[in-house]
Every structure is written in structure tokens, then in C-alpha cells.
Amino acid sequence: MSALLECKNLYQAFGGGRKLLGPAKPKIQAVSDVNLQIQRGQTLGIVGESGCGKSTLARMLVGLDLPSSGDIYFQGKDLVEVKRDNPRWLRQQIQFVFQDPLSSLNPRKTIRQILEAPLRHLLNKSPTERQDRLQELMQAVNLRPEFLDRYPHEFSGGQSQRIGIARALAAEPDVMILDEPVSALDVSVQAQILNLLRDLKQQFNLTYVFISHDLAVVENLCDTVAVMYLGRVVESASREQLFNDPKHPYTRILLSSVPVAGQKKTASVSLQGELPNPAAPPPGCAFAPRCYRAEAKCRESRPPLEHFDDTGRKVACYFAEDSDLHDGDTQS
Amino acid sequence: MSANANTSANAAASMVKPMSSRPGLWARLRRNHLAVFGIVIVVLVSLTALCAPLLPLPDPDATALSDRLQKPFSENHLLGTDHLGRDILSRVVWGTRVSLAVGVVATLIAAITGSLIGIVAGFYGRWLDNLLMRSIDMVMAFPYMLLALAIVAVLGPGLMNALFAIAIVNIPFFARSVRGVTLGLVRQEYVDAARLSGLTDVRILGGEILPNVMPVIIITMSTTVGWMILETAGLSFLGLGAQPPQADLGSMLGEGRKLVITAPHVATIPGLVILILVVGINLLGDGLRDVLDPRLKSGALVRPAAATEVDQAVRSAGVEDSVERDAVLSVSNLKTHFITGQDVYKAVDGVSFDVRPGECLGIVGESGCGKSVTALSLLGLVPTPPGRIVSGRVDFEAQNLLAAPLETLRAIRGGKMAYVFQDPLTTLNPLFPVGEQIAESIREHQGLSGKQALQRAVTLMEQVQIPNAKDRAHAYPHELSGGMRQRIGIAMALANDPQIIIADEPTTALDVTVQAEILKLLDTLRKEKNVAVIFITHDFGVVSELCDRVLVMYAGRVVEAASTEDIFSRPLHPYTQQLMACVPRLGQADKVVAAIPGIPPAVNDLPQGCAFADRCELAQDACRQGEIALERFGENRAARCIRIDEAGA
């Protein structure tokens, strides 16, 4: 089965070059050599900490930014070509939900105007069709239809995010890219939105790419998960594999750092040092300077993201096979 | 302390904002008396000028040499006549008409052209931006009046040419300010959202960006019209604008200049009209700017008082605290309300708790539940207006802090009681090295010399495990990572050996791995130094890492208080139970998160009885009646619920 959405050797760099008469600007490799496959009907989670490139990747997947190099294929077609030749079709197929529900809604437009835009410009619906569809959309995200004529500032964070989701749904997409859709919300509202997303996926047969820094949320919603560190995928696996038996040291530390209600972790492995400068990443494994397991060869050459077993699981670590890595005491 | 006041101002603003609707443009403008005065002048002058053809005025260009240079109030000529015997009143009215028209039209031309250039440059960026803005820079490189003179010199004298010259000279002001705002707007997510909705660039420019740039254009216009009128007058004064016999305020001034000694009124009267008109327009412009400027919407320019206002009844309890306590801090029945106009937001409404030495007390709740306001009230850091402490006692070191004078509070702030805030980037001053900022607080409280204080700062930085503390002391806040900045924040809090550290969501803005380290650090430090910690958070996971005891707050009140162990093994209040159940937990992938329906009530319109009743499955009629007390359950527990038995505890 071929993947619905696929990226091959994706790179994205910012900066670089030099200003007229100025000094060279530092070049930051935000995304490096990312390969991912997203199957129809699945939810792929992308996790990582700030600065790992997950949002840059999300913007490329929806065509808001173009990759510096590498290819994205949607239904087997080159996304860059599709964006050039038939941008409306692309917008209609792949939609996006933003992190900040308020700043993704124009403060001077009513909800009706915001939701009508995709119906008019992407689907060419007539005014009466639009009217019906608006009612359906509001119902789908559990908002009262009379809210349509209000302005964004009259809504709470959770309600605004429902509108953001309705806007994405309006285009009747196949794929939705969700960039931290619940991070800005209160916990009780976060759960409402997570449940809504799960229902919508079933109802409209959607495929999700779910970007988040919150591991518990990702575990709750995703089928497969990719962990990113400094622009690269360091581990990708099914949810069960990744959360029950993480192989990459970074994944392990990440998982052990999450505080769990009702548990006091006394001797969890903690992370040494700081994120390396993305403008000058270390030569070998980017995680080596902070890794408890790193040896000389980690610092010399970068371990490739290789198949770990025949389940499709991939890990970028020379010591992924080691089983006694859980032991936090081995750190020096 | 200004940073603290800022944070608390933001907290208050974010709490109040969604519930109050701002008064309309006109209502806000009307409150500004000077602006109203400006409006009156502008309307009167414009009306008179507009009605010139209807008024019983003599022909402004009719000369009558026999009547020349009559004084004001003479027969037939209310304001006298000029050197050709023309009626000055008539000429002033017609001249104002011309000056106003030229000023307004020139402003419109400059605004439209300049805004178009600015919006296109800001939206497309790259080479187009460079090309457009460098051209604008070239226009600005010439002295203002000189350029206008040059343009008129090329085009030839005349009113229309003067108008173009002035419009061109003013284009850069519009282009630059509009480009600046557009640059910010283009990065807004709703512009991306519009793109994803299939809107073309033209539609995005016209429909998404222009309406949001409009206030800036209007502000710039209203402050430019006055200038434009002055400039037209200037050009006409020099004989380059209106040509005789046409009347225009500037040319009248120019003609009257030669007669200043013999007939001062000829120059004085048009001069006064220019003065009045421009002053009126500028007053109106300033008023409009104040109303439309987004920075003023948040009340950022309203300077809060140095300490929260406290009701006299609260003060009358006296400063002394004669009760022997084993608690280091004891808060009872604290009520902090925000009063805006008619509305009273009961942000904190009757909170009581004790903190024992070395203990870590967690305060948990969602945004708007009053947890931060509670913390800020302890040392009077809630901004007034709109905050006000209307009831309660805060006992610390045998003193009731709510009744204490400002000097006492100042000495305790950052000394015996210190705060750590969510985002250290906003609480640290970006202009000073971090070491110096820690040292400043030490100097202030302990009176050490600069050098000693800096040494102590480095020691503190070592204690919070900052590598290369000596070098990092010279770093500026932006040069440090989020985790390092928060360590600086903690070092600052520790600087004066506090008895209590109040940490308000100190790890919320941090990555999980960094959060884990900061929590570990806080835990170690409080045990080493026997400091009590009040830890404010929305995350039960963080609570279980650090806290001994927990208060759960909802809509300004404590709904449950218990030890950390008890609250996780046996939560009593339905809200606590549901709040725990609605968070996905690591390792429980298949658990369906049970969302709490609805949203918390607005604290300016709380329901009768239990504030949570509308979202609670167990609620019955009795829950919606009367006061529901915080009842004790056993030694160290309390909950505010009358259905505890049914809640399955």
C-alpha cells in the first residue's frame, strides 16, 4: 500500500547567504533529511521539544513553505508541482489547524465570513449550499449556529479552536495537519477538543498529522509516532512500541521527564546540558553531547535512521539494540 | 518590581478581557475633553468654510481701493479690509475653504499612495520591499520643505502643484508606518489561514490586512492634516501656492506681512485662523490616536499604584498579629476583586490557607480560577486599578501584611518572600547582564557593596546549577536558554534568604526535559534551605513531583484542600475528580479522556450556590442554593461540596 502523504529526504534551512555589504548570516538547518510516510486513515504524531523543527515540517506538509530540498508526495504527486499547477485542489485536500486559536482568526471578520471563505474560494459553492454547509459545520464542532455572526474576540480559547477546526473541515480535506492544537488550552477544554478531533476523524474518514510537545496527548491520539531532535527524526515507531519500549536514548529521557499525576519519580534520568546551537550542530549524533550512552563513534559519525526490526520501526542510534539502557545510573 | 507589576497587569487584563465588551469608539472619544474641544473647532470651521457660498459675504476678490486697510469692526467690514480694500472676513472664510480642501486632498493622496506602497512592501517583502522602501528613503533624504520647493519649482507655482508637492513629501510617513504594521500582520496565523482557505493575494491584502492596518492609517492621517495645512500655507506664503487674486490662508498671511506695522490685523487674522484650525485638528488627532492605538486598549498606559488598594475595613484589623502560629504564612478569608465600571469580578473570593516552614503547597486550577491573583495579593502586587482587596488577613512574621505600610511590603518583596514567574524573559530586564540583576536585589535588601553583591550573585548562580556561572553572570537574558533564564529567576528569588518562594507556573513555558530539571532543583533547594514554596500550576503531574499539600481552586474559591497523597488516592470534590480524569496520562493510552462539559462561569456573574454545579453530574437543587461551606473531612482535608458521599469518595 502506498502512502497517502510521504516525505523523502526533506530539508529546510533558514538564513544563510549574506546581506548586501553585510556579514554572512548564520544558516540554520531547521529540518534535515526527514523521511516519513503517512497512511490513509492513520494519525501520525510528531513530538519533540521547542526548536526541533516540528512546526517547520508541518508548514511544509501543507504547502505553506516550500522545502529547500527533498520531495513531498501527496497521493503519489509531487506537492511542489501540485501547488504550482493546481493550488486550489491542494488546499482543498490538505488543511491545517493552528496552535493559537485566537491569532488564527482575523479579529475583524465574523465567524460566518471566516468559515465561508473556503466554501467560496475552494469549493465554489452557491450561497444556499454555503448556508446549509455552515450549519453542518457548526454542528460538527458542537457550536451553536447563532454564533456565526459574532466576532472572534467574543469566544473563549476552546470555542475559538473549534472554529479553527471548522474552518479546516470546511474544505472537506483528506488530511489535516494539526500544529499543537491543544497546547494553548486549559486542561478541561483540551480534553473536549481531543475528543472532538477523535470523533471527526471517524466521521469524516480523516488522516491526521498531529504535532505536539505533549507526550501524553500524543499517546492518547496517535497510531504512529516520530520523535524529532534538532531537525531530524531520531525514532519512529508504532505508538505501543514507542511508549512501552523506547529505543533511542532521547526518547527514553523525554518519556521519563513527563511528570505523571499521582507518581513521584525519585530517580529519573535527566538531561545534561543544553540544546546545541542549531547554526553549528555537532558533527556526529546531534544528541551525543547530552547522551548518557554516547561513545567516541557517536561523536564522529551520525548514526543513520535505520530499520530496527521488520515492524517498520526505525531508530537512529548505534546502541538501539542495547536493552539495559533504562538504567539511569550509567550516566557519567 | 515594575516587571512584577507588569505581569500582574497582564494577568488581570487577560482575566477581565473576555467578559467585558469595550465601549464604542465614540463613547471613548467623548471621555477625552480636549478631543471634544478639537471636534467642536474642526466642525465649526469646516461648516463655515463649506457654507461660504451660502453666507451673506461680499465677493472676496472685489477690490475697492477707497476702502483699503479699514480696521476690524468698521462699518460693512467686520474684520476690516486689506491693502486692496477686499473684505477680510470674506477672504478668510473662502481662504479657509481652499486651505482645508488642499490639506484634506493632499492627505488623502499621500495616505492612499503611501499606504499602498507600505502594504505591498510589507506583504511581499524581499526585493520589492527593498526597492520600494529604498525609494522612500531617497525621498526622505531631502529636507522636507526643500523637496516641496524643488517639486513646485519643477512643476511651476500654483495651488494644484503645491498640493502635489505636499502630498509627495508626506508619502514616506504613511509608507513607513503602514509597512511596519503590515510586516507584523503578515506573520499572523490568520493570514496563513486565509491562504489555506483559497484566498488570492489581492483578497488577503484587501480583506485580511487592510482592515487591520486601517487604524494606523487613520491615526497618521489625523495627525498629518494639520501639518499639510501648515505646509500649504507655507508654500502660499512664499508665493508658490495659491496665486492672486485667489484667497488662501497662507497667501493672505504673505500679503499681510508687508503691512505688519501699519495694519497688523491683515496678517494677524489669517494667522489666528490657521492657529485655531491646526490646534483643533491636532487635538482631535491626538484623541483619535489614543482611542485607536492598540497599546492603549489593554490599559498599559494606566499606571498601577505601588501596592494594591486595600479597603479601610481590612486595614482596621491592624498590623500586629498577636496569635502564636506554627505556620510561616497564614491567609484567611482573602477577597480580591477587580472593579471595572459596573462590574465586580470576584477573582479571589474568600481564600484561606496556612503554609508551614519548609512545606510545599500546590495551588491547582484552570486559567481564571484566581490562583495567580491569590499569590499576588499576598504582597499587594495586584494592580490597582482595577484590583482591590476587600477582605482578609495575611499574617507573616507577626504582621498583617494587608494592613502594613508600603515600606514594609517593599522590604519583604524579593526579600523574605520572593516570586518566580512563568516567563523569565518578561521579568528580567533585557538591558542588563543577569548577574547584575541578581546583585541589584542583594544590594537593595542587604546593603552589600557592588563587588560583594556580584560575588554573592555568582555563588547563587552556582547553587542553581548554572555551568560557568562566573562567565554567565555577564550574559544578557536573551543570550540564555529558557531553562537557564528560569534558573536565574530562581537564583534571584533565593538571593535574600527568603522564607517563602511563590512560584507561579514556573515551568509551564519550558520543555519537559527542562521542566524535570527545574522541578528537581526547586525540590533540592527547598529541602536544603528549609524554604516554604507556594507552587501554582495547572498540571497535577507537576504537583505530585513537588508538593506536600494541594489546594484546588475554582472560580475564585478553594474547592478542595488535601495532602498530595490523599488527593490522588481519593479526590473528594467532583471538580477535582473530573479535572484529573480529563488529562491524558502517559502510559494509559486507551483511557478515553472524560472532558468536563462547558466552561467555568464568569467571576462577575457567579451562580448561586456551587459555582461548579452547572458542569457537575451530581448537582441537585440544593447545590444551587445558598452558600456552600468548605467542610472539614478528617484531620487535614476539606472540600466544598454537599454531595461528597455520592461523589464516591
Question: Of B297, B321, B341, which residue constitutes the final position of a domain?
Answer: B297
Question: Is A164 in the B-facing interface, judged by CB distances under 8 Å?
Answer: yes
Residues of A in Cβ contact (< 8 Å) with B587:
219, 243, 260
What pLDDT is recorded for position A266? 55
Nearest to A264 among B199, B514, B545 (CB): B545
pLDDT (0 to 100) of residue B10:
37
The whole-number pLDDT of residue A331 equals 40
**Do A260 and B587 count as a contact with CB atoms less than 8 A apart?**
yes
Percentage of chain A beyond pLDDT 90 is: 47
List, as one string, the DSSP characters of B219-236.
Answer: HHHHHHHHHHHHHHHHHH
Predicted pLDDT of residue B126: 86
Give the integer Cα–Cα distance in Å for B37 and B30.
Answer: 10
Same-domain check for residues B286 and B316: no
Separation between Cα atoms, residue B516 and residue A270, nearest integer Å: 7
Cell numbers at residue A128, please? 444556499
> In whole angstroms, what is the distance from residue A208 CA to residue A174 CA?
9
CA angle A48, A50, A54 (to 5 degrees): 55
Q: For residues B267 and B271, give the distance between their C-alpha atoms in angstroms, rounded to a whole number.
A: 6
Q: Is B407 exposed, middle or buried (0-12, 13-18, 19+ CB in 10 A)?
A: exposed
Angstrom distance (rounded) from CA B193 to CA A164: 9
Q: Give yes or no for a contact between A269 and A256, defined as CB atoms under 8 angstroms apart.
A: yes
Q: Is A259 on the interface with B (CB under 8 A)?
A: yes
Which of B267, B297, B327 delimits the end of a domain? B297
Among candidates A95, A153, A217 on the partner chain, residue whose Cβ is nearest the Cβ of B584: A217
All three cell numbers of B475, joined, read 550574559
Whether residue A176 lies within 8 A of chain B, CB to CB, comes out as no
Is B193 close to A105, i.e. CB distance below 8 A? Answer: yes
Q: Does residue B465 sit within a domain? A: yes
C-alpha B582/C-alpha B598 separation (Å) is 13
Report the amino acid identity of residue B508: T
What is the 8-class DSSP label of residue B77? B
Cell numbers describing residue A202: 471517524
Q: Is B381 helix (H, G, I), strand (E, B) or coil?
A: coil
Residue A216 in grid coordinates? 501524553
**Residue contact B366–A88, C-beta within 8 A:** no
CB-side neighbour CA atoms (13 Å) of B412: 26
Q: Give contacts of B578 with chain A, Cβ < 8 Å.
A: 188
B42: its cell numbers: 474642526
Q: Whole-angstrom Cα distance, residue B379 to residue B368?
A: 20
User: Within this chain, do residues B190 and B246 fall inside the same structural domain, yes or no?
Assistant: yes
Contacts of A176 in chain B (CB under 8 A): none
SS3 content of chain A, % helix, strand, coil (to 5): 35, 20, 40
The residues facing A15 across adjacent strands are A27
Q: Strand, helix or coil at A122?
A: coil
Q: How far apart are CA B385 and CA B226, in angstroms?
A: 35
Asked if the structure places residue B240 within a domain, the reply is: yes
Q: Which residue of B has its CA nearest to A117?
A: B197
Measured CA distances, B465 to B203, B376, B484 (Å): 53, 28, 9
User: Minimal Cα–Cα distance from A118 to chain B, Å?
Assistant: 4
Q: Which residues of B touch A266 (CB under 8 A)?
A: none
Backbone angles phi, psi at A52, to 5 degrees: -90, -5
DSSP secondary structure string for all residues of A253-280: HHHHHS--TT---SS-----S-PPPTTS
Burial, A30: exposed, middle or buried (Cβ in 10 Å; 0-12, 13-18, 19+)?
buried
User: Which residues of chain B neighbour A50 with C-beta distances below 8 Å?
Assistant: 482, 511
Residue of B487, B513, B520 to mutate when probing chain A, most A C-beta within 10 A: B513
Q: Which residues span the domain enclosing B156? A: 41-297
Q: Does A255 touch chain B (CB under 8 A)?
A: yes
Contact A213 B511 (CB under 8 A): yes
Residue where a domain terminates, one of B297, B332, B354? B297
Residue type, position B244, single letter: P
The CATH code of the domain that includes B275 is: 1.10.3720.10
Q: Do A98 and B192 touch (CB under 8 A)?
A: yes
DSSP A131-159: HHHHHHHHHHTT--GGGGGS-GGGS-HHH
The residue type found at B499 is Q
Count of all residues that appear for chain B in the document:
649
Whether residue A187 and residue B538 make contact (CB cut-off 8 A), yes or no, is yes
- Measured CA to CA, the distance from residue B546 to residue B31 in angstroms comes to 50
Residue B549 lies in a domain: yes
Question: DSSP label at B374?
Answer: H
Q: Do A259 and B539 touch (CB under 8 A)?
A: yes
Smallest Cβ–Cβ distance between A259 and the set B366, B544, B591 belongs to B544
A chain contacts of residue B591, beta-carbon cutoff 8 Å: 220
The reported pLDDT for the residue numbered A132 is 93
Cβ-Cβ contacts under 8 Å, B519 against chain A: 259
- State the average pLDDT over residues A119-148: 91
DSSP state of B206: I
- Whether B350 is covered by a domain: the verdict is yes
**Cα R_g (chain A), whole angstroms:** 21
Indicate whether B542 and B614 sit together in one domain.
yes
Nearest-neighbour CA in chain B from A62: distance (Å): 9
Does B361 lie in the same domain as B274?
no
Any CB–CB contact under 8 A between A167 and chain B? yes
Residue with cell 482557505: B197
pLDDT tens digits for A169-220? Answer: 999 999 999 999 998 888 888 888 999 999 999 999 999 999 999 899 999 9
The residues in A 185-204 lying below 8 A from B, measured between CB atoms, are 186-192, 194-195
Q: Which residues pair with B361 in a beta bridge?
A: B534, B549
Partner residues linked to A307 by β-bridges:
A314
Tell me if A285 sits within 8 A of A316, measured CB to CB. yes
CA atoms within 13 A on the CB side of A155: 27
Measured between CA atoms, the residue of chain A closest to residue B594 is: A191
CB distance A10 to A70 below 8 Å:
yes
Report which of A152, A144, A88 is spatially closest to residue A118, judged by C-alpha positions: A88
- The pLDDT of residue A179 is 93
Q: How far apart are CA B201 and CA B208, in angstroms?
A: 10
Q: Phi-psi bin for A59: left (phi > 0), alpha (psi -120 to 50), beta?
A: alpha
Q: Do the chains contact at B589 and A219, CB–CB below 8 Å?
A: yes
Distance from C-alpha of B519 to C-alpha of B465, rounded to nearest angstrom: 13
Residue A100 backbone class (left: φ over 0; alpha: ψ -120 to 50; beta: rest) = beta
Tell me if A262 and B593 make a contact (CB, 8 A cut-off): no
Q: Are residues B250 and B326 in the same domain?
A: no
**Residue B28 included in any domain:** no
Pairing of strands A207-212, A43-47: parallel
Mean of pLDDT over chain A = 87
Determine phi and psi for A307, rounding to 5 degrees.
-60, 130
Q: Are residues B288 and B319 in the same domain?
A: no
First-to-last CA distance in chain B? Answer: 44
Answer whether B578 sits within 8 Å of A188, measured CB to CB. Answer: yes
**Residue of B434, B462, B445 lying closest to B497 (CA atoms):** B445
Q: List the beta bridge partners of residue A14.
A: A28
- In this structure, are residues A256 and A267 in contact, taking their beta carbons and an 8 Å threshold? no
Do the bridges between strand B343-355 and strand B329-340 make them parallel or antiparallel, or are there none, so unpaired? antiparallel
User: How many angstroms separate the most distant Cα atoms in chain A?
Assistant: 69
Q: Among partner residues A156, A219, A253, which is closest to B584 by beta-carbon distance? A: A219
The CA-atom distances, in angstroms, between B541 and each of A189, B366, B419 are 17, 14, 22
Q: Of B292, B379, B360, whose CA–CA distance to B549 is shortest?
A: B360
Count up the domains in chain B and report the number.
Answer: 2
- Number of CB pairs, chain A paired with chain B, less than 8 A apart: 188
Is residue A18 within 8 Å of residue A47, measured between CB atoms?
no
- The pLDDT score that the predictor gives to residue A97 is 94
Pairing verdict, β B309-310 and B387-396: parallel
Buried b (16+ CB within 10 A) or exposed e, A259-281: bbbeeebeeebbbeeebbebeeb
Measure the CA–CA gap between A193 and A187, rounded to whole angstroms.
10
Q: CB-based contact (8 Å) between A274 and chain B? A: yes
How many Å apart are CA B432 and CA B59, to the nearest integer?
Answer: 68
**Residue to test with chain B: of A91, A169, A186, most B Cβ within 10 A:** A186
Nearest to B585 among A62, A106, A260 (CB): A260
The CATH number given to whatever domain includes residue B450 is 3.40.50.300
Q: pLDDT value at position B644?
A: 80
Other CB atoms within 10 Å distance of the CB of residue B50:
13
Compare CB distances from A95 to B196, B583, B599 and report the shortest one's residue. Answer: B196
Residue A5, strand partner residues: A38, A74
CA distance A36 to chain B (A): 23
The whole-angstrom distance between residue B542's C-alpha and the CA centroid of its chain comes to 31
Whether residue B326 is found in the same domain as residue B192? no
Give the pLDDT means over successive 10-residue stretches in chain B (649 positions). Answer: 39 37 69 88 92 87 83 83 87 91 93 95 91 92 86 88 91 93 90 91 91 88 86 86 85 86 88 91 85 58 74 82 81 90 87 92 90 91 86 89 88 89 83 92 87 91 86 88 87 90 88 85 89 92 91 94 91 91 80 80 86 88 87 87 71
Quick check: B498 and B416 in contact, CB under 8 A? yes
- The answer to whether the Cβ–Cβ distance between A106 and B197 falls below 8 Å is no
Mean pLDDT in residue range A321-328: 56
Q: How confident is the model at residue A18 (pLDDT cuts 50, 70, 90)?
A: low
- Chain B residues whose CB is inside 8 A of the A219 CB are 584, 586-587, 589
Would B402 be classed as within a structural domain? yes
pLDDT tens digits, A73-130: 999 999 999 988 998 999 999 999 998 888 889 988 999 999 999 999 999 999 999 9
Position B307 in a domain = no
Nearest Cα neighbor of B311 from B417, B393, B369 is B393
Return the sign of the alpha-carbon dihedral for residues B463, B468, B473, B477: negative
Q: In terms of Cα–Cα distance, which of B371, B379, B402 is closest to B504?
A: B371
A253 touches chain B (CB under 8 A): yes
Residue B470, domain member (yes or no) = yes
Does residue A286 contact residue B567 with C-beta atoms inside 8 Å?
A: no
- Is the same domain home to B292 and B341? no
- List CB contacts of B225: < 8 A, sequence separation 6 or more: B103, B104, B107, B281, B285
